[in-house]
Amino acid sequence: MIHPFQLARREFLTRTASGLGAVAAATLLDPQLTQGAAAADSRQRGVLGDTHFLGKAKRVIFLFQAGGPSHIDLFDYKPRLLAEHGQEVPSSVLGTQRVNLTSRSVAKTCFGSPFNFSQHGQAGQWFSDRLPYMAETADKWCIIKSVHSEPINHDPAVTFMQTGQQQAGRPAIGSWMHYGLGSDCRDLPAYIVMISGTPNQPLLSRYWHSGFLPAKYQGVQFQSTGDPVMFLSNPSGIDHADRGRMIDAVSQLNQLKHQQVFDPEIEARIDAFQMAYQMQTSVPDLIDFSDEPQHILDAYGPDVHEKDKFAYQCLLARRLAERGVRFVQIFHSGWDQHYTLRSDLSRQARWADRPTAALIRDLDQRGMLDDTLVVWGGEFGRTAFQQQGTGRDHHPGCFTMALAGGGIQGGLTYGATDEYGYNVVENLVHVRDLHATMLHCLGIDHQRFTYPMQGLDARLTGVDPARVVTGILS
Lowest mean pLDDT among 9-13, 165-169, 423-427: 9-13
Dist CA 20 CA 38 (whole Å):
22
Q: For residues 351 and 465, which has the higher predicted lDDT (pLDDT)?
A: 351
* Beta-ladder partners of 65: 332
Cβ(149)–Cβ(380) under 8 Å?
yes
Q: Which pLDDT score is estimated for 91?
A: 92
Tens-digit pLDDT profile for residues 429-466: 999 999 999 999 999 999 999 999 888 899 999 988 89
Q: Which pLDDT score is estimated for 38?
A: 38
- Residue 254 exposed, middle or buried by CB count within 10 Å (0-12, 13-18, 19+): middle
Lowest mean pLDDT among 32-46, 286-300, 312-326, 397-411: 32-46
Tens-digit pLDDT profile for residues 197-216: 887 788 999 999 999 999 88
Q: Please, which residues have CB within 8 angstroms of residue 4's CB and are 6 or more apart in sequence?
A: none
Cβ(130)–Cβ(113) under 8 Å?
no
Which DSSP string do the residues of 207-254 spell out, in sequence order? GG--TTS-GGGS-EEPPSSSSSSTT-SPPTT--HHHHHHHHHHHHHHH
Task: Using pLDDT thresholds of 50, 70 and 90, give the confidence band for residue 187.
Answer: confident
Cβ(164)–Cβ(432) under 8 Å?
yes
Burial 195-223 (b: 16+ CB within 10 A, else e): bbbeeebebeebbbbbbebbbbbbbbbbe
Q: What does pTM read for this prediction?
A: 0.85
Cβ(450)–Cβ(406) under 8 Å?
no
Whether residue 20 has pLDDT greater than 60: no
Tens-digit pLDDT profile for residues 244-274: 676 667 767 777 776 777 676 777 666 666 6
Lowest mean pLDDT among 3-17, 284-298, 333-347, 407-421: 3-17
Task: Using pLDDT thresholds of 50, 70 and 90, give the confidence band for residue 278.
Answer: low
To the nearest whole percent, how much of the chain has pLDDT over 90? 68
Q: What angle do CA 447, 66, 171 make, to 5 degrees?
A: 35
Helices (H), 91-153: 91-94, 132-136
Task: Using pLDDT thresholds of 50, 70 and 90, give the confidence band for residue 124.
Answer: very high
Find, among 426, 329, 337, the residue nearest to 380 by Cα: 337
Tens-digit pLDDT profile for residues 34-75: 444 433 444 477 899 889 999 999 999 999 999 999 999 999
Q: What's the whole-number mean pLDDT along residues 220-239? A: 75
